[in-house]
């Protein structure tokens, strides 16, 4: 790392086993990468996370009100990525949440959906505002050209600066710029002119309207939706957001009330383009029977609901 007053730059190096993780299909969809970044916000004790898809600006933005990070935190996490530092002190966050992150590659997963990641972040009580850019273009080079000491590989370059802010602020803003690969279809779904004819979309719908769409028996599969909708339904399924109000038939609420209350107690809200996000699990049984073939504890982990006539 090179520092010059309030500016700094360096190279992100990862252990070979992280290369294996990134090439094993672990992040085979844009939703998998976005889920990692949103769960990072959860581990930072954020209560509100906002995701904005900006097709005209060719970027996806993630903002949270978590505890943030400073230059020392950034360098510690990004100079060499081999394992997570999240659990150095405890397996739970300051607010008591059980941490989700296990390995320190959440941010690096962003390389799958963008070429440049820009970060603004600050911690409460500090006047330092971290501003950093991570350039992932190096990842497109031949692996042998990126090999470093021992089993390490270069995954990108970063440069940053320390700006000033007020001491009451605490947040992280992430700008995924120069969106690439399958994630470009998410941008298209947020652009009326870019959508494929006949595909259904949840873009611009309120949370209650999305719930109605999910309950509509005309929709048989998420594959009927555009990529924007499919990816964010997938994100919603894999981050700790609450369930929709009245998502379960009244007669079966007692079967899942502990699960529902636990998720609500996490105090974690996600908004995508202004719409509140809930678990995309809703039932509209009408006169049909609903069977639950798992305990509530197991459902909390696997969400293995089954319907039967």
For 8-185, CATH number out of 3.50.50.60, 2.40.30.10, 3.30.565.10, 3.40.20.10 equals 3.30.565.10
| Tokens (6 digits) for 43 | 């581990």
pLDDT at 53: 96
Per-residue pLDDT tens digits for 89-127:
678 999 999 988 754 567 777 888 999 999 999 999 999
Arithmetic mean of pLDDT over the chain: 81
| Tokens (6 digits) for 209 | 């309207």
pLDDT at 23: 46
Per-residue pLDDT tens digits for 193-216:
656 666 789 999 999 999 988 887
Kindly state the average pLDDT of the residues 12-25: 60
Predicted model pTM: 0.84
Helix%, strand%, coil% for the chain, nearest 5: 30, 25, 40
Look at residue 289 and tell me whether its pLDDT is greater than 60: no
pLDDT at 309: 32
Distance CA 7, CA 133 (A): 12
Of 284, 303, 278, 283, which is closest to residue 208 (Cα–Cα)?
Answer: 278
Task: Give ∠ CA 199-203-208 in degrees, rounded to 5.
Answer: 110
Look at residue 56 and tell me whether its pLDDT is greater than 70: yes
Domain segments of the chain: what residues?
A: 8-185, 195-307
Look at residue 137 and tell me whether its pLDDT is greater than 90: no
pLDDT at 4: 65
Q: Render the burial of 28-38: b for 16+ CB within 10 Å, e for the rest.
A: ebbbbbbbbbb
Per-residue pLDDT tens digits for 61-86:
999 999 999 999 888 877 766 555 55
Look at residue 43 and tell me whether its pLDDT is greater than 60: yes
Look at residue 132 and tell me whether its pLDDT is greater than 90: yes
Of 263, 260, 215, which is closest to residue 239 (Cα–Cα)?
Answer: 263
pLDDT at 271: 98
Per-residue pLDDT tens digits for 176-193:
999 999 999 999 988 866
């Amino acid at each position: 790392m090179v520092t010059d007053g309030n500016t700094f730059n360096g190279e992100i190096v990862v252990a070979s086993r992280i290369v294996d993780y990134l090439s094993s299909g672990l992040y085979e969809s844009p939703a998998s990468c976005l889920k990692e970044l949103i769960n990072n916000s959860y581990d930072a004790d954020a209560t509100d996370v906002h995701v904005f898809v900006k097709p005209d600006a060719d970027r996806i933005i993630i903002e949270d009100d978590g505890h943030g990070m400073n230059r020392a935190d950034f360098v510690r996490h990004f100079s060499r990525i081999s394992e997570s530092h999240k659990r150095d002190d405890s397996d739970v966050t300051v607010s008591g949440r059980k941490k989700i992150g296990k390995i320190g590659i959440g941010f690096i997963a962003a390389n799958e959906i963008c070429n440049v990641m820009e970060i603004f972040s600050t911690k409460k009580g500090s006047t330092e505002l971290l501003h950093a850019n991570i350039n992932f273009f190096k990842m497109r080079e031949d692996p042998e050209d990126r090999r470093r000491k021992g089993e390490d590989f270069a995954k990108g370059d970063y440069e940053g600066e320390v700006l000033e802010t007020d001491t009451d602020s605490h947040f992280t803003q992430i700008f995924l710029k120069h969106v690439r690969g399958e994630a470009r279809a998410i941008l298209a779904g947020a652009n009326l002119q870019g959508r494929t004819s006949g595909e259904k979309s949840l873009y611009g719908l309120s949370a209650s309207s999305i719930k109605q769409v999910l309950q509509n028996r005309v929709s048989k599969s998420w594959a009927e939706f555009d990529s924007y909708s499919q990816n964010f339904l997938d994100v919603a399924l894999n981050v700790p957001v609450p369930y929709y109000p009245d998502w379960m038939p009244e007669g079966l609420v007692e079967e899942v009330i502990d699960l529902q209350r636990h998720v609500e107690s996490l105090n974690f809200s996600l908004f995508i383009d202004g719409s509140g996000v809930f678990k995309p699990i809703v039932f509209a049984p009408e006169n049909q029977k609903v069977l639950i073939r798992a305990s509530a504890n197991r459902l909390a982990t696997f969400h293995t609901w089954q319907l039967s006539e």
